[in-house]
Amino acid sequence: MALIEPMLVAVAALTLLQPGGGARFALLLARSTLSVTTLLLLGATTPFSEILALLRRLRVPSILTTMAALLHRYVFVLGEEMQRMRRARRSRTFRKSRAGAWHSLSAAAGALFLRTTERSERIYRAMIARGWK
């Protein structure tokens, strides 16, 4: 919640530029904070498979539930690749410099994109080989 709240305040602050924005600001901030808190609580207490099953029972289009399931899976793939790259960078870097940090960050972002794209393609081909459609 501490990571999301500053964004909520920034978006709600845009209403302060309108006439009568003080009340709108408070209302928008309260509603968005309550919504995010509810989603975080739901995500922390309910397994993702149950959330997907509920969405299917509520007749959410299957393409959306499938995309949510794949997104959930690939977020962890991305995290694993990021951990591997971070470990490799730490083992090769001996001194810290600001310019070097920006260079390695930009190189790592590009490499992470390429590696996760390749890995997701391998996972997709494996899923197709097992009959997933």
Q: What is the pLDDT of residues 46-105, one digit of tens each?
A: 999 899 999 999 999 988 998 888 888 888 878 887 888 778 777 776 666 666 667 777
40 and 96, same domain (yes or no): no
90 and 121, same domain (yes or no): yes
Structural domains in the chain (count): 2
Q: What is the pTM of this model?
A: 0.56
77 and 102, same domain (yes or no): yes
* Residues in contact with 108: Cβ distance below 8 Å, sequence separation at least 6, in sequence order: 85, 89
Looking at residue 97, what is its pLDDT? 67
d(C-alpha 110, C-alpha 89), whole Å: 14
* Residues in contact with 22: Cβ distance below 8 Å, sequence separation at least 6, in sequence order: 16
In DSSP notation, 36-78 reads HHHHHHHHHHS-HHHHHHHHHHTT--HHHHHHHHHHHHHHHHH
Query: Residue 31: which domain range?
Result: 5-45
What's the whole-number mean pLDDT along residues 110-122?
Answer: 82
92 and 72, same domain (yes or no): yes
60 and 125, same domain (yes or no): yes
Q: What is the pLDDT of residues 27-44, one digit of tens each?
A: 989 999 999 999 999 989
Q: Is the pLDDT of residue 21 over 80?
A: no
Evaluate whether residue 50 is within a structural domain: no
d(C-alpha 104, C-alpha 101), whole Å: 5
Residue type, 125: R
Evaluate whether residue 51 is within a structural domain: no
